[in-house]
Amino acid sequence: MIELKGRKLVLGVTGGVAAYKAAELVRLLGKAGADVHVVLTEGGARFVTAVTFQALSGNRVWTDLWDPRMDNNMAHIDLTRDADAILIAPATADVMAKLAHGQADDLLTTLCLARDCPLLVAPAMNRQMWEHPATRRNAAQLVADGVTLLGPAAGEQACGEVGLGRMLEPEALCEAVIGFFQPRLLAGRRIVMTAGPTFEAIDPVRGITNSSSGKMAYGLARACAQAGAEVILVSGPVALSVPEGCRRVNVKSALEMREAVFAALPGADVFIGVAAVADYRPATSAEHKIKKSGAELTITLTPNPDILADVAGLPNPPFCVGFAAESRNLDEYAEGKRKAKKLPLIVGNLVQDGLGGDDNEVVLFDAAGRHPLPKAPKPEVARAIVAHLAALLPKI
């Protein structure tokens, strides 16, 4: 994924034990396409050396306000001149206190004071330090000054205590940085989405399912959350982690999925049916494991409810979006489904082009006609769907 392509980030690493995780963060940000310039404080350099960051970022590392390497000797101005953001991870209680008071006694704090780009701060400290009234005041002051706080998380700490103060994991920080740069097109919207396959039990250990991986739904849920929406993912069994900012409700069968969807619907602005819901389920599920007898075995199937059509058919339905994966006649079948299920928007996708790969090519169908989206990496396609959806929603 190259979702930070073209972004220049200054990463400030201060003196907390979580500094070792900043090395992994540099690698992840770089993998996402960012050009990362590390500024290491004196304390940070006690935990991880500049050599590590230099090797991982491919850029020289800055530590000293008086570094003569810049032609004009103005590292504190030049480093952030064309930066898209400064991220401090880990941020100690000390650096937060300095920032809250506008102190500038080293390169990093001077850069922060002289910047004209956003500042993101990932606190990392002992639970008691985080809870101290002075840190609470400083954190509140930073937020009031327009600084974005990322975390901290709760959990086990290096000192052996458990509580709030841990730095977010590098993956979560990288996700937060990607999310930070996205337009908040769905701010204030509540979205319920179905995902993955369903599993229709034959007996306690067997069932009928399909090969849906859930990747499309989880990718779209991630894009919706990064656009500011509150997302509830009603998900069949998949091996994916829940995207940042989404809540997952686990279900197995289509009937369970339908029940969970209707329970989550009150207050929802949008419903997106991405799940590959089984069209049929065994009419009865055996209480005990069916024994092999050698004789022919017949399983009678009964149709499952169409969750999307049921939601769209409500007296005051949320804005409903469907998916249509077709192997041929995409326009005819997708538009046919849109009309039959009374959907304002359906995402059509020719399966021989899309499934499994990193890229996807979809066509959106709405009341205004067909809108083909260019073939692109899946996260980009998800963002294009979000933009189209956001433009169709009634204003709030």
Return residues touching ligand C5P (CB under 6 A).
194, 254, 273-275, 277, 304, 306-308, 322-324, 337
26 or 257: CB nearest ligand C5P: 257
Q: Cβ of residue 334: shortest distance to ligand C5P, in angstroms?
A: 9
> Do residues 277 and 212 touch, judged by C-beta distance below 8 A?
no
**What dihedral angle (degrees, nearest 10) is formed by the CA atoms of 234, 240, 246, 252?**
10
**Residue with smaller CB distance to ligand C5P, 32 or 192:** 192
The response to whether 271 counts as a known ligand-binding position is: no
Number of alpha carbons in the 13 Å side-chain half-sphere of residue 159: 13
Residue 323 in marked binding region: yes
> What is the closest distance, in whole angstroms, from the C-beta atom of residue 232 to ligand C5P in the complex?
15
Report, in Å, the least distance between residue 267 CB and ligand C5P: 20
Confirm or deny that 269 is annotated as ligand binding: no
Is the Cβ–Cβ distance between 260 and 288 less than 8 Å?
Answer: no
Torsion of CA 182, 40, 147, 24, to 10 degrees: 40
* Length reported for the chain: 396
Dist CA 36 CA 121 (whole Å): 16
Q: Which is nearer to ligand C5P, 95 or 325 (CB)?
A: 325
Residue 174 annotated among the catalytic residues of the structure: no
* Residues 64 and 107: beta-carbon distance below 8 Å: yes
Least distance in angstroms from the C-beta of 272 to ligand C5P: 8
Between 28 and 274, CB nearer to ligand C5P: 274
Which DSSP letter does residue 271 get?
E
Place of tokens 């289509």: 254
**Residue 341 annotated as part of some ligand binding site:** yes
Q: Which two three-digit tokens encode residue 108?
A: 């990093």
How far is the C-alpha of 104 from the C-alpha of 264, rounded, in Å? 49
Token digits of residue 150: 């990322």
CB-nearer residue toward ligand C5P: 150 or 274 = 274
In the complex, what is the shortest distance from the CB of residue 166 to ligand C5P, in angstroms, rounded to a whole number?
37
Q: Please report, as a single letter, which amino acid is at residue 153.
A: A
Residue closer to ligand C5P (CB basis): 183 or 313: 313
Catalytic residue among 112, 117, 159, 320: 159
Q: Give the H/E segment covering residue 229.
A: none
Residues contacting 80, CB < 8 A, separation 6+: 10, 86, 111, 114, 115, 116, 117
**Cα distance between residue 224 and residue 18, in whole Å:** 30
What is the three-state SS of 309-326?
HHHHCCCCCCEEEEEEEE
289 is in an annotated binding site: yes
> How many CB atoms sit inside 10 A of residue 375's CB?
14
Least Å distance between CB 270 and ligand C5P? 13
Per DSSP, the three-state class of 134 is helix
Cite the annotated binding site by residue number.
279, 289, 305-308, 323, 337, 341
Cite the annotated binding site for CTP by residue number.
279, 289, 305-308, 323, 337, 341
- Could you list the active site residues? 159
